Amino acid sequence: MKQSRQRRAGFSAAELLVAMAIGAVIIGAAAVAYGTIARSQPRVGSSVVVTLDSTRLQNYYNLNQGTIQTAVAPNYGSLSRAEVLRERFLNDCLSATAVFPLARTGINTYRPFQIAFDPATDAFPDSPLKFRELLVTKSLVAAGVFLSTRNYNATATHASIFILGYSPDAGRINVTAVYEVDVSKTTSPVGFYASVRRHANSGSGSTLTAYYDIFYPPSDLATWSSTTDGFTPLWVSFERQARRDLSPPETTDIERFKLAREKPFYLIWWPDPAARSLGQYRASNTSYPPTDPRRAYNHMAARTSFMFTVPVFPAL
């Protein structure tokens, strides 16, 4: 008859000490890693009350107040709202018949859902500048609302992007949506307040349908105090190369953007809620000659993940 052997269960004291030592090392490393991450993201969940003039907040959000509470960058809640707005913008552009960004000096109150148009008398707009001229000529906006800009504006901190849609009526232009980008310098607190909004027809007029906003502390106080803005240009426009054959030639500042071989396009930038700051202001990159378009916008590189390449309609 065979006797069964009983095996001992459990660990010896030495084995327990080794396991406890390994666990302590792992837990300590995890604590150090978490502390590093927490210190590197000190403002992910913070917010601040920003002082703006009541006229601006009324125009942006229909708020009758002089302050607004918003998230401090970087903030991933604001980032998720920005991602939703990005998808809306791309879908609107996909079905557009024309896209016209216009630089502004201040607020915009012109958000139509239709624009009367007479093909026999009204000049057809083939650029942002011509679209602005159409609005001014028809007395739809005052001349000072939108800046007279052809390809870009190096100092404008505000812009409206008109997305035009299909209309079965030759006597009108339908407006799918108006996007507004505003970067405002603030003193209480010191920094920049950025807002991107979508206005569209609600049946009874233009309505705010989606937006995101964010506050950026200055990356450098000296830079903040000596400049107006840290995020320009908001857009640039590249025209077809064939337009270089126009006679007489236009200015160097316009000719340098006639580079698109087939389809003309815009580059458009929005502030990124995931960025710590807007970055230090640079009016231009002087490493490029005046004939190179990159001189106007190369400093926007790596500042934001919200950069759009939008085809120009109609093709310039």
Q: What is the mean pLDDT of each run of 10 residues along the chain (316 residues)?
A: 51 60 63 49 72 94 96 96 97 92 93 91 88 94 94 93 90 94 94 96 81 93 72 93 84 91 91 89 75 91 91 63
DSSP 8-state code for residue 290: T
What confidence score (pLDDT) does residue 164 get?
Answer: 94
What confidence score (pLDDT) does residue 217 get?
Answer: 93
47 Cβ contact partners less than 8 Å away, ≥ 6 residues apart:
69, 70, 71, 72
CB 142 within 8 A of CB 134: no
User: How far is 16 from 160, CA to CA, in rounded Å?
Assistant: 67
For 53, phi then psi, to 5°, come to: -70, 150
CB 293 within 8 A of CB 259: yes
What confidence score (pLDDT) does residue 249 get?
Answer: 85
Give the pairing type, strands 190-201 and 172-187. Answer: antiparallel
DSSP element (H, E) containing 296: helix 294-297
User: How far is 146 from 132, CA to CA, in rounded Å?
Assistant: 7
User: How far is 19 from 10, CA to CA, in rounded Å?
Assistant: 13
What confidence score (pLDDT) does residue 282 get?
Answer: 65
What confidence score (pLDDT) does residue 299 get?
Answer: 87
Which of 268, 267, 265 shows the shortest CA–CA distance to 315? Answer: 265
What confidence score (pLDDT) does residue 233 get?
Answer: 93
Query: The tokens of 245 are what?
Result: 């054959």
**Residue type (1 letter), 84:** V
What confidence score (pLDDT) does residue 127 get?
Answer: 86
pTM confidence score: 0.83
